[in-house]
């Protein structure tokens, strides 16, 4: 298969997932290319691909606005096969509604659904994940990626079921349209902490940050992607009404990935509260992965 992966990323979790997916596809003898959505990136030429994969991080139970805008502009031939690989920090059922806009757009273009997959990646907002938890997440993600690639080969097209209640609730909390524009009025940089490294200016996907006479200023074209504040080496950026939920500091995913899973499972049958949703999520992945290994052994 020749596969095109079109994705949006804020703090590079989706980029990391995309690269893991490319690795899995290539290991199975497929060819994969990727396009990262950002301001100024023209709609990709999708002709000549057997499959298109759409990747995005879930923002408030929805797909990110820049992702939706980009997909709207994409020319997709009728009959084009596509799949979805989305990710988020938790797997609450409300997240099931996040692809409804993408699915509607693809249906309107006559594209053919070939599966939807929900990966967990560490939170870039709300609170930082423990390193051992991230190691376990990446270990489970790798299994799900193998399942995904085999599904694409066999034509199995698993759906993630949403319903009218989740869809309506997700639409109601979709505040992104004004969220970034309004919140960015309150972004501030602490001059005592800022070392003028220019990283935030260089990396903002919306080219929304400027640096003049050693002062950092923000425009109002913000996606709320958290890239600037997440990677600021001195944690100097105040992100307005989300400041209490700010997560600062690179997880160093490649290093944690290389270490493999933690010595003892992070999520167990006794996991409680926030962590409870991962019990079923990980056991579903383990089940599907075991089926895959069994099927391979039978060959
Ligand atoms: C504005 C915003 C809203 C988010 N909303 C959710 C959410 O509703 N559910 C969730 O599980 N994670 C949520 N997250 C966390 C991200 O989905 C998660 O950390 C993702 O892996 C980030 O991917 P990226 O690094 O490619 O941007 C949100 C993150 C941001 C910045
Ligand atoms: S990334 Fe942080 S330290 Fe670097 S210029 Fe931006 S605000 Fe200053
Ligand atoms: S200003 Fe910061 S949060 Fe907003 S789009 Fe740019 S990098 Fe992302």
Residue 96 CA to ligand 1 centre (angstroms): 14
SS3 185: helix
Pocket test for ligand 1, best of 17, 59, 187, 223 (most atoms within 8 A of CB): 59
Residue 28 is part of a domain; what is its CATH number?
A: 3.40.50.360
pLDDT in tens, 143-201: 999 999 999 999 999 999 999 998 988 888 776 667 888 888 899 999 999 999 999 99
> Which spans in the chain are helix H?
13-27, 65-73, 100-108, 131-154, 164-172, 176-183, 199-203, 227-231, 253-259, 277-298
With beta carbons less than 8 A apart as the criterion, state whether 241 and 231 touch: no
182 and 287 in one domain? no
Cα atoms in the Cβ-side hemisphere of radius 13 Å centred on 214: 6
102 and 11 in one domain? yes
281 and 294 in one domain? yes
99 and 157 in one domain? yes
Low-confidence ranges of the chain (pLDDT < 70): 175-177
pTM here?
0.97
Task: Name the burial class of residue 250, with classes exposed (0-12), middle (13-18) and buried (19+) by CB atoms within 10 angstroms of its CB.
Answer: exposed
232 and 258 in one domain? no
Q: Is the CB of 35 under 6 A from ligand 3?
A: no
127 and 153 in one domain? yes
In this predicted structure, what is the pLDDT of residue 184? 87
Structural domain including 74 reads 2-171+252-298
40 and 27 in one domain? yes
How far is residue 77's CA from residue 141's CA, in Å, rounded to a whole number?
A: 30
In this predicted structure, what is the pLDDT of residue 176? 66
Q: How many domains does the chain have?
A: 2
25 and 136 in one domain? yes
183 and 139 in one domain? no
Q: Is the CB of 140 under 6 A from ligand 3?
A: no
263 and 194 in one domain? no
Q: Is the CB of 118 under 6 A from ligand 3?
A: no
């Amino acid at each position: 298969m020749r596969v095109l992966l079109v994705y949006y990323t804020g703090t590079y979790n989706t980029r990391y997932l995309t690269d893991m997916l490319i690795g899995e596809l290539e290991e199975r003898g497929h060819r994969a290319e990727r396009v990262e959505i950002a301001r100024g990136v023209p709609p990709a030429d999708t002709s000549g691909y057997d499959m298109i994969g759409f990747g995005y991080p879930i923002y408030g139970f929805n797909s990110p606005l820049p992702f939706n805008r980009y997909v709207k502009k994409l020319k997709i031939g009728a009959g084009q096969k596509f799949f979805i690989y989305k990710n988020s920090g938790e797997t609450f059922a409300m997240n099931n509604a996040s692809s409804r806009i993408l699915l509607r757009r693809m249906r309107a273009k006559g594209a053919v659904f070939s599966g939807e997959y929900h990966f967990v990646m560490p939170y870039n907002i709300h609170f930082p994940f423990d390193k051992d938890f991230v190691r376990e997440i990446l270990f489970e993600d790798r299994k799900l990626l193998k399942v995904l690639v085999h599904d694409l080969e066999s034509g199995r097209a698993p759906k993630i079921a949403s319903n009218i209640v989740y869809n309506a609730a997700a639409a109601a909390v979709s505040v992104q349209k004004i969220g970034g524009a309004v919140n960015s009025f309150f972004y501030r940089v602490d001059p005592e902490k800022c070392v003028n490294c220019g990283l935030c200016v260089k990396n903002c996907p919306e080219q929304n940050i400027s640096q003049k006479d050693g002062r950092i200023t923000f425009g109002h074209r913000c996606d709320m992607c958290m890239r600037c504040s997440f990677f600021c080496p001195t944690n100097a950026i105040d992100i307005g009404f989300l400041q209490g939920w700010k997560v600062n500091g690179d997880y160093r995913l490649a290093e944690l990935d290389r270490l493999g899973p933690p010595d003892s499972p992070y999520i167990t049958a006794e996991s409680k509260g926030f962590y409870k949703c991962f019990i079923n999520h990980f056991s579903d992945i383990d089940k599907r992965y075991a089926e895959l290994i069994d099927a391979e052994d039978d060959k």
